[in-house]
């Protein structure tokens, strides 16, 4: 939610929210708590960042 006003884009804020949650879980060693659905959403999010424009 912090990135939404800084990026002037709701979509970018939500994408970075999903990615940062996964990065925090993996970084703290709790990667088993990340669901398969979230991994799939993260793949689409990364795709949207690189190929969405």
pLDDT in tens, 16-34: 899 999 999 999 999 899 9
- CB count within 10 Å of CB 8 equals 9
Per-residue confidence band for 6, with pLDDT thresholds at 50, 70 and 90 = confident
Q: What whole-number distance in Å separates Cα of residue 48 and Cα of residue 37?
A: 17
Q: Which residues of 29-46 are buried (b: 16+ CB within 10 A; e: fewer)?
A: eeeeebeeebeebbeebe
Q: What whole-number distance in Å separates Cα of residue 38 and Cα of residue 34?
A: 6
pTM over 0.85, yes/no:
no
């Amino acid at each position: 939610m912090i990135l939404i006003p800084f990026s002037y884009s709701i979509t970018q804020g939500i994408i970075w929210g999903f990615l940062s949650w996964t990065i925090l879980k993996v970084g703290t060693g709790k990667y088993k708590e990340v669901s398969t659905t979230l991994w799939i959403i993260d793949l689409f999010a990364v795709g949207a960042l690189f190929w969405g424009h």
